[in-house]
Amino acid sequence: MEFNKALERFKEIIKLSNAYTYAMGVITFDSETAAPKNSVMGRAKASEIFSGITYKLTVNEEYFEVLDTLSSNKDKLDAITAREVELAVQSLSQIRHIPIEEYTEYRKTLTYSQNAWVQAKRNDDYSIFAPYLEKIIAFHRRVASLVAPDMDPYDYWLDQYEQELSTKTLDAFFDKVRASIVPLIKRVSERGDIIRTDFLERHCPIELQRRLSDYVMQLMHISRDDCAIAESEHPFTLELDKHDVRITTHYHEERLISNLYSVIHEGGHALYELNIGDDLIDTALAGGTSMSVHESQSRFYENIIGRSRAFVEILFPKIKELFPEQYKDVSLDEFYLAVNKAQPSLKRMNADELTYAMHIMVRYELEKRMMHGEITVDELPAEWNRLYKEYLGIEVPSNREGILQDVHWGGGMIGYFPSYALGSAYGAQMVEAIKKDLDFDELIKNDRINEITAWLTERIYRFGRLLKPGDAVRAATGKDFDPQYFIDYLTEKYTAIYGLDKE
Ligand SMILES: [Zn+2]
């Protein structure tokens, strides 16, 4: 195919594909927030047709030819197009290498496995889920051997979620974190239950909580003309383009901070998307570069800003104003400590900042051994429980509260978990760099978080997917990723909160 023809066709297909993604995004958002229960039939029909069209848009001989032509003429492409081509080739590599029958068979397995997982969890019966997990792992090993025969199979899958991520990086990261954080968790646990949290469960009417959400979005300087907030079962962020980002939250009358920190977390995802550069509009690069860089931002706003003393100082008066009765016997200090309480727990989703990475480490160890064929699915639950005891010091009473708690493996996501922990660690390294340039706490206290966002925009947000995930930390800090920042951040914070002696 002639170069100019290929380039023109490529741009056309990206625009079409963006338009379909936009339409399907609105359908998804609507289904989670406003659509009535019986909308499922109509939506299923529409989604099936749309996904058929988008599949055919990129999985066909003509498009393969377009990509081959552009790939072999890389020197003629500008930086944005070159990166778009690189990502398109990567996303099609599996489909081009795996026999179609195997691929469809696997998609079918996934439908059943999700259902099996729900049943297994409900009945606390791991044996219902085990055969599906076995098939999922076998498929992942097989795909890796077909697409990237020279690569470690787990590295292949890590790279799918986070370009250039490998077990080498993660082993070093987790080894280091484990060596410092496991003893710190133990010391915190030994201090006993010294932080008061009773007031967090007091009844706070949803109507007033909505006003708190508005206030939080205002504190984060999120433009409401470009970002809407709605309610859904599980909070999430949907990005349609930089002028249409939507976040959701879930209100619990007896858990004020659940909504509060959901809004800050999703608001962090939103700020990333809202600040993508204008030069990327209509390209395939107009979005966050990876899951862990995205999580590094959401968890940065949620924890590093949102649970800081400075943020609590500007937030708490509003809480007192909206909920005078509920918070009349609560001091600012007590609130600050309560939102930072650390406690080893069984559930990853509810884990605090200190213990969170341990939950991920358990999953990482097991995924690695599964992908290397070093552990059978029957051996997994016992290993899960043993690692929880070792890292978090707790007994797992049942598989329902243990290995069956997460949806990811049943959904075919092997290699996804590590990005949650990496995201937290990236944020800790970034804040060190920010503090060199800006008066971080003063800005937060004085309602100038937008200046912190501008700093991140300059280095990360505006580049969207043009920036490789591994380069985000370097772009922001001028250094390679170093887990020591995360360890220092947690050690300093929790030593102060729990009044521990410095070691
Ligand atoms: Zn998130």
> Which residue's structure tokens are 């990876």?
290
Which of 30-44, 239-253, 448-462 is the least confident region?
Answer: 30-44
Q: pLDDT tens-digit profile of 366-406?
A: 999 999 999 999 999 999 999 999 999 999 999 999 999 99
Three-state secondary-structure class, residue 256: helix
Q: pLDDT tens-digit profile of 440-470?
A: 999 999 999 999 999 999 999 999 999 998 8
> Rounded CA gap, 43 and 46, in Å?
5
Three-state secondary-structure class, residue 88: helix
Three-state secondary-structure class, residue 150: coil
Pairing of strands 227-231, 244-249: parallel
The two tokens of residue 295 are: 């999580």
| Confidence check: pLDDT of 14 > 80 | yes
Other C-beta atoms lying within 10 Å of the C-beta of residue 149 = 10
Average pLDDT on 145-157 reads 95
Please identify every residue annotated as catalytic.
266
Q: Annotate 211-249 with three-state secondary structure.
A: HHHHHHHHHCCCCCCCEEEEECCCCCEEEEECCEEEEEE
Q: pLDDT tens-digit profile of 92-113?
A: 888 788 887 888 888 888 878 8
> Rounded CA gap, 416 and 26, in Å?
25
Q: In 98-239, which residue ranges form alpha helices assigned H by DSSP? A: 100-123, 126-147, 153-161, 167-190, 206-219
CA angle 382, 153, 67 (to 5 degrees): 140
The two tokens of residue 91 are: 């996303």
Ligand 1 ion: Cβ-proximal residues, 5 Å cutoff: 298
Average pLDDT on 471-476 reads 92
| Confidence check: pLDDT of 362 > 90 | yes
Average pLDDT value for the chain: 94
Average pLDDT on 138-164 reads 93
**pLDDT bracket for residue 125 (50, 70, 90):** very high
Exposure string for 455-491, b = 16+ CB within 10 A, e = fewer: bbbebbbbbbbbbbbbbbbeebbeeebbbebbbebbb
CA 133 to ligand 1 centroid distance, Å: 25
| Positive or negative: CA dihedral 161, 162, 163, 169 | negative
CA 215 to ligand 1 centroid distance, Å: 20
Percent of the chain with pLDDT over 70: 100
The two tokens of residue 291 are: 């899951």
**What is the model's pLDDT at position 52?**
82
CA 295 to ligand 1 centroid distance, Å: 5
Q: Annotate 412-440 with three-state secondary structure.
A: CCCCCCHHHHHHHHHHHHHHHHHHHHCCH
The two tokens of residue 171 are: 């082993």
CA 423 to ligand 1 centroid distance, Å: 10
CA 463 to ligand 1 centroid distance, Å: 20
| Confidence check: pLDDT of 114 > 90 | no
pTM above 0.85, yes or no: yes
Amino acid letter, 298: S
The two tokens of residue 296 are: 């590094």
**What is the model's pLDDT at position 97?**
84
Domain ranges for the chain, please list them: 1-97, 198-340+425-449
Contact 383, 363 (CB under 8 A): no
**Which residues, at least 6 apart from 5, have a Cβ–Cβ distance to it below 8 Å?**
none
**What is the model's pLDDT at position 138?**
96
> Rounded CA gap, 128 and 130, in Å?
6
| Confidence check: pLDDT of 268 > 80 | yes
Average pLDDT on 174-203 reads 95
> Rounded CA gap, 219 and 314, in Å?
9
Helix axes 469-477, 291-299, angle to 10 degrees: 40
Other C-beta atoms lying within 10 Å of the C-beta of residue 334 = 17
| Confidence check: pLDDT of 491 > 80 | yes
**pLDDT bracket for residue 53 (50, 70, 90):** confident
**What is the model's pLDDT at position 105?**
85
**pLDDT bracket for residue 354 (50, 70, 90):** very high
Contact 323, 256 (CB under 8 A): yes
Q: pLDDT tens-digit profile of 73-82?
A: 999 999 999 9
| Confidence check: pLDDT of 295 > 80 | yes
**pLDDT bracket for residue 49 (50, 70, 90):** confident
